[in-house]
Homo-oligomer: A and B are copies of this chain.
Amino acid sequence: MNATVTARAHTNIALVKYWGKADTELMLPQTSSLSLTLDQFYTDTTVTFDDQLTADEVTVNDQLLSSEAAKKVHNFLNLVRQQASRTSFARVTSVNHVPTAAGLASSASAFAALAGAASRAAGMDLDRTALSRLARRGSGSATRSIFGGFVEWEAGHDDLSSRAVPLIEDVTWPIAVVALVLDPHHKKVSSRQGMQSSVTTSPFYPAWKQIVADDLDAIKPAIRAQDFTTLGETLETNAMRMHALTLSARPPFSYFNGDTLTAMQTVKGLRAAGLECYYTLDAGPNLKVFCQTADVSAIQERFARQFGSDNVIVAHPGPGIQFLNKA
């Protein structure tokens, strides 16, 4: 009897960034990080281990992947098989409800959903902390997508201690994220390459660790106190300091494009006009703007005028991993 399990995981946006691995095998990060899980972007993944299969079979968005393209999934399934003492191959069907174009990490929701579905399909019953540790092995940011709301990924020092911890799962704070699609193309420098280059070549990297520690110390009380100004100033500054690590690498690189810079100016203009909002961005040009729900319409309208309404997506705090059926 082969169990078929479907899991849904949402993506997340980091307010204090993860930028650098300490251990590439165990996927231990150089620093802790903190994110907000979002409701609009998620991945549904169904897994069945089947003795009849002669290889893992991975379908993403109705497209069967080549064994080369499915390599990361295959490696991840090997880890699950090892932990569950299973030998059979798996059928994986995954649908991303994350517009890749939005520059939101689909790998976060993808590996969180895969960790949930594959571990249960293989007969394991992991709690969410254990799931976050497993998801981490697929993609660092997936660690945080196991939980909803505000989540901290504690860096830890080994496989056991490097895991997600929910800060506030049920977010009652009326805040929103306006995601701007500024470039539908794939990034030229992957986050994996980008952070590795920053760790090994930026002379600013050692100071980054202290920045993250200080920003976590500032942002966690701000989240608990619903202090939007401190939240916003901290996340914006943290993001720009992460991007300073790309400019200071050798050779230097940047994830910005012209629209990124223009949208940043718009955020400053909105603030000057009394609409409080703050931006962040990851390994791509697409800005995500934090605001309070009372201001969403005005801010959304402003960006729709600038970049077209199709390129402006509003999201809110989202839930942690969900299991949609159990065989």
Residues of chain A touching chain B, judged by Cβ–Cβ distance below 8 Å, are 203-204, 206-207, 210-211, 233, 236-237, 240-241, 243-245, 247-248, 250-252, 254, 256-259, 261-262, 264
Contact = CB atoms under 8 A, between A and B. Distances in A.
Contact of A207 (B207, B243, B256, B257): B207
Nearest to A279: B252
A287 to B, nearest CB: 13
B250 A237 contact: yes
Contacts of A233: 250-251
B252 A237 contact: yes
A211 B244 CA distance: 15
A315 to B, nearest CB: 23
Could you say which of A210, A244, A250, A262 has the most chain B C-beta atoms within 10 Å of its C-beta? A244
Given A203-B207, A203-B211, A258-B259, 17 more contacts: A204-B204, A204-B241, A204-B248, A206-B207, A236-B252, A237-B251, A237-B252, A240-B247, A240-B248, A241-B247, A241-B248, A244-B247, A247-B247, A254-B261, A257-B261, A258-B258, A258-B262
A240 B253 CA distance: 9
A258 B254 CA distance: 12
Contacts of A240: 247-248, 252
